[in-house]
Amino acid sequence: MNDCVFCTLQGTEILVEDELARAFFDKYPVCEGHVLIVPKRHTANFFDATPEEMMSIGTLLNKVKELLDERFHPDGYNIGVNVGAVAGQTIFHWHVHVIPRYRGDAGSVRWHA
């Protein structure tokens, strides 16, 4: 879709990608190193993902974790997907949040009702 921010991604540094998905830093991070993993095919809902897309996301998730471990040395991670507006989804191109967590940070994820 032409008006989808995840379909256009102009000027965004891609950290890792394959033929089905890509990962990049969130423009509005919850914590330092917050990354989004986004399938290249536009679909709003996590539950519409193909098995191949899910495998791609899983592979990129491990690569992102290695990158974040090396660069930021977090103490833990939140990994999540919001499905639907009532669940906090604000961009309707499904994506996975990879949020590094650090001792002493707020310990919560961003969500607006």
Write out the catalytic residue numbers: 95
Rounded CA separation 44/70 (Å): 32
Sign of torsion over alpha carbons 71, 110, 10, 1: positive
Strand partners, 25: 35
Rounded CA separation 104/49 (Å): 35
